[in-house]
Amino acid sequence: MSGKPVTVDFKNGLAFVTIDNPPVNATSQAVRAGLAEAVQQVAASDSKAAILRCAGKTFVAGGDISEFDKPAAEPHLPDICNAIEASPVPWIAAMHGTVLGGGFEIALSCAFRLALPDTRFGMPEVNIGIIPGAGGTQRLPRLAGVETAADIICSGGMFPAEKMLEAGIVDVLVDDLDGTVAAFADMLPLIPEPVSQRPVENPGSEWFAAKRAELEKKAKGQLSPVQALEAIEWAATLPFSDGQQRERERFLELRTSEQSKALRHAFFAERQAANRN
């Protein structure tokens, strides 16, 4: 690991932004601060594009859960995602390993998303009693549609890169992250409209009611899957800025709930048991 969890290298007209925060490149406060600085450095450069990549075995595999029992510390991840999306220099997410939670939300804020074929994706927040808190429930419906977004977010499951490609979430699957992504950046196609500005096709109140009933039956008293669906409905009915604000408020509310604390305790207990075996 280098001295900093986030570094920026400029080479051949491109900016290479590297997150190096073992073991899973979680979006700790130090990583968020490093990304905020990187956004400014990239914007001030004459780079054609910025390639966001991660050291080690995985892309960003979620947030730093150890921070969840403390007050949210600046810079906040929604602000980082918004800054990446608004950058005058387009960002390209070069993904491998697992792309989870906050890592998925960062990728959604990039102009393009490229991944190795064996990469896996997910928003597992509902498994620990919360919902995505950095625009995931607002951007994913705008990129892949409400039904796909609900399948991914409300299930908390993991999905293969091929499925993400079919859904239009990943733009290209590549065999070589370094060389192929750099070549893609060097011959950059037309920059697409930012995901947050895209329209959402609303499947209607009856669809949301049926999906809610389905989730309530499966959840057996767990609140987060249904809360996630409600946030997705905000994406279908509200401007992005309003939906993102409501999502963040709900995320912060849920992470201090007794249900989320209990699920996080179980998560850490399971991980410790696995580490002992």
Kindly list the catalytic residues.
105, 125
For every residue of 115-182, DSSP letters joined together read E-TT-EEE-GGGGGT----SSHHHHHHHHH-HHHHHHHHHH--EEEHHHHHHTTSSSEE-S-HHHHHH
CB 56 within 8 A of CB 23: yes
259: Cβ–Cβ under 8 A, 6 or more apart, which residues? 129, 222, 223, 224
H/E run at residue 50 = strand 49-54
Q: Would you state the structure tokens that stand for residue 16, as one six-digit string? A: 């290479």
26-37 residues labelled b (16+ CB within 10 A) or e (exposed): bbbbebbbbbbe
Tokens of 18: 């590297």
Q: Which two tokens stand for residue 8?
A: 């920026």
For residue 274 the two structure tokens come to 């696995």
- Give the number of other Cβ atoms within 10 Å of residue 217's Cβ: 8
d(CA 140, CA 271): 29
